[in-house]
Amino acid sequence: MVKFGYQRDSKSVYLRKNNFNQKISALIQRDLKAITDLNSFYALIVPTLIKLSLTGLLLIIFIIIWQPLAIFIPFLSIILIGLGMMALAKHGDKENARYINSFVHMGERFLDDFFEMNAIIMYRRDRAFSADFHRDSENFRKRTMAVLAYQLQTLNILDFAIYGGIGAFALFLSFGTAQGNLSVVQAIILFVLDADWFIEFRKSGYFIHVMKQLSPTLKHIFAQIDDKNSFSSQKKQRTIANDIPKILEITINNLSIGYDKPLITQLSWSLKIGHLYALSGQSGSGKSTLAKTLMAQQKSLAGEISFSDKKLRFDANFRHDWLKRAIYLGSEPYLFSGSIIDNLLFASKYDRKELIKIFDKFGLCSFVSSLPGQYDSQVGENGKWLSPGQRQQIAFGRAVAADKNFYIFDEVTSNIDHENAGIILRAMKRLAKEKIVLIITHKIEDLKQSDQIAFITEKKAVIGPYESLLKNSPSFKNLINQQFLLLKGNKQDA
Ligand SMILES: Nc1ncnc2c1ncn2[C@@H]1O[C@H](COP(=O)(O)OP(=O)(O)OP(=O)(O)O)[C@@H](O)[C@H]1O
């Protein structure tokens, strides 16, 4: 079964859109906050910088006139602060990177835990998983404490250098006064100017910190201001990418697919409305990889796929827009908590009434009439209050309701009972009258009902209807015999 990076039925399309909107809103809020911060920043920094320059100038003039030797103390402090900050910045970057890594690591494990819960429980890995999760959280806690400690340490060093500098200057002035080089009044004036200058300097350290934090956001804002056409050009790009015409036919021409090595080579096939197409072959022969390629998720090695005079591409824009026209459904789809109709209307082009009419026509979801709440019955978390076959009927119905042009059904009836599998197979046949439908299957009944089968054997596809493949392909005949034996065994077991 294919597991696409981000696509799980139409749920993930919704999540992606939602994510996109959330990202935009977060971006706008970030920019607005940056503008407010920038406003208060300028309100503070300009007076502070003016004061810093004037006090500094006055301090230097008085020192040069009254006590030239004292000049090295403030300079030395500043040099020490600069060097210290540079050394700490390196350490800080490392600490921050470790902190972010531990956060990402923990997040990834959480997502694995969340999405793969069933597998984790089924393989009795839940205890080990929770121990791993505990270790990651502990690591994250340690990293957070390390970053906080680093920040405190930085502040302490900064304060030590500044207040130490003020103290050393005071000592030097008292020494000068005691020796009679300076009057008490001169010493007090120099001390006040020096202390004031250092305190303002300390404040400007905070400004540098704010500026550093703001700079990526400001770059973004200024880039937007500079790029006068940014919005319209983005809009234009999206329009072009969105412009995927209705798929009336898919032509696969001399296609090779695979990863490091090819799995299927020189495949040429044409899929049209009005026929049910099946893709079959031994496990590992590359069926799911071909599905990924047809969903624009996995780049082909050679050859091309075209549709309505256009070429299928594998860039992110195309991939996103392709989902407007094409859909993939696997054997374990996800149902949302809510009612049956909520799930069906989730990505539907039709309203409730129209949808129920279509399902009657397709012979889908008739089990609903025996439920007390009918279409309003709750399905439970991931449809747990329904049987696997009923769940699959709803998932199939949801795909039909989404009204796409091209459907790939990957082993959708492999985990369900004979009766529900029959209902779905009939609905697939019905759907193939109006849409391009490709099913990935090894079931005899599905293969018999298909108008054309591409059977993958030794990296090549043998294409034809069921009877002709039985005659001409020994591997296909072998697969069918295996299936017969399996069916016979199942009947005897029952
Ligand atoms: N992302 C990947 N990177 C490298 N190899 C992969 C990747 N995904 C699958 N493969 C390998 O490619 C081969 C074909 O996998 P694929 O899932 O396409 O086969 P399949 O015919 O659908 O099998 P099944 O019927 O068992 O689902 C397998 O050997 C598999 O290990």
CA of 107 to the centre of ligand 1 (A): 27
**Residue 268 pLDDT > 90, yes or no?**
yes
How confident is the model over 229-250, as pLDDT tens digits? 544 444 444 444 457 888 999 9
Mean pLDDT of 153-165: 80
CA of 336 to the centre of ligand 1 (A): 29
How confident is the model over 413-442, as pLDDT tens digits? 888 888 889 999 999 999 999 999 999 998
Q: What is the ipTM of this complex?
A: 0.96
- How confident is residue 301, by pLDDT bands cut at 50, 70 and 90? very high
CA of 330 to the centre of ligand 1 (A): 15
Give, using CA atoms, the residue closest to atom 24 of ligand 1: 283
Output the pLDDT for position 492: 59
| Tokens (6 digits) for 174 | 């008292």
CA of 258 to the centre of ligand 1 (A): 8
Backbone phi, psi, residue 391, to 5°: -60, -45
- How confident is residue 406, by pLDDT bands cut at 50, 70 and 90? very high
Which of 2, 259, 443 best tests ligand 1's pocket when mutated (most atoms within 8 Å of CB)? 259
Give, using CA atoms, the residue closest to atom 18 of ligand 1: 286
| Tokens (6 digits) for 220 | 């973004």
Give, using CA atoms, the residue closest to atom 13 of ligand 1: 284
- How confident is residue 26, by pLDDT bands cut at 50, 70 and 90? low
- How confident is residue 10, by pLDDT bands cut at 50, 70 and 90? very low
Give, using CA atoms, the residue closest to atom 8 of ligand 1: 289
**Residue 450 pLDDT > 90, yes or no?**
yes
CA angle 357, 338, 426 (to 5 degrees): 35
CA dist 446 and 422 (Å) reads 9
Enter the pTM of the model: 0.58
How confident is the model over 94-142, as pLDDT tens digits? 887 888 788 877 776 676 555 555 445 544 556 666 777 788 888 888 8
Output the pLDDT for position 87: 73
* Helix or strand (DSSP H, E) at 456: strand 452-457
Residue % of the chain over a pLDDT of 90: 20
Q: State the residue for tokens 């990418």.
A: 241
CA of 280 to the centre of ligand 1 (A): 14
Mean pLDDT of 333-357: 82
**Residue 42 pLDDT > 60, yes or no?**
yes
**Residue 24 pLDDT > 70, yes or no?**
no
User: Which residue ranges have their beta carbon within 6 Å of ligand 1?
Assistant: 1, 259, 263, 281, 283-289
Give, using CA atoms, the residue closest to atom 28 of ligand 1: 284
Closest CA relative to residue 428, chosen from 413, 444, 443: 413
What residues form DSSP beta bridges with 440? Answer: 279, 410
**Residue 8 pLDDT > 60, yes or no?**
no
User: Which of 197-201, 311-315, 328-332 tops mean pLDDT?
Assistant: 311-315
**Residue 494 pLDDT > 90, yes or no?**
no
CA of 262 to the centre of ligand 1 (A): 11
CA of 235 to the centre of ligand 1 (A): 38
Residues 6 or more apart from 74 whose CB is under 8 A from it? Answer: 59, 165, 169, 194, 197, 198
**Residue 208 pLDDT > 50, yes or no?**
yes
CATH topology of domain 249-493: Rossmann fold (3.40.50)
Which of 264, 282, 283, 288 best tests ligand 1's pocket when mutated (most atoms within 8 Å of CB)? 288
**Residue 187 pLDDT > 80, yes or no?**
yes
Which range, of 87-91, 159-163, 354-358, averages the lowest pLDDT? 87-91
Give, using CA atoms, the residue closest to atom 7 of ligand 1: 259
CA of 283 to the centre of ligand 1 (A): 8
Output the pLDDT for position 227: 59
The residues of the chain that CATH labels 1.20.1560.10 are: 33-230
Pick the CATH number of 33-230 from 1.10.10.10, 1.20.1560.10, 3.90.1150.10, 3.40.50.1000: 1.20.1560.10
151 or 171, greater pLDDT = 171
CA of 290 to the centre of ligand 1 (A): 10
Q: State the residue for tokens 């996995």.
A: 298
* Helix or strand (DSSP H, E) at 463: strand 460-464
- Regarding beta strands 460-464 and 310-311, do their DSSP bridges make them parallel or antiparallel, or are they unpaired? unpaired
* Helix or strand (DSSP H, E) at 21: helix 11-66
Residue % of the chain over a pLDDT of 70: 79
Give the atom of ligand 1 at the shortest distance from the alpha carbon of 292.
18
**Residue 209 pLDDT > 70, yes or no?**
no
How confident is the model over 387-400, as pLDDT tens digits? 888 888 888 998 89
CA dist 75 and 77 (Å) reads 5
Give the atom of ligand 1 at the shortest distance from the alpha carbon of 286.
18
Beta-strand ranges (E) seen in 9-96 are none
CA of 289 to the centre of ligand 1 (A): 6
**Residue 30 pLDDT > 50, yes or no?**
yes
Give the length of the chain: 494
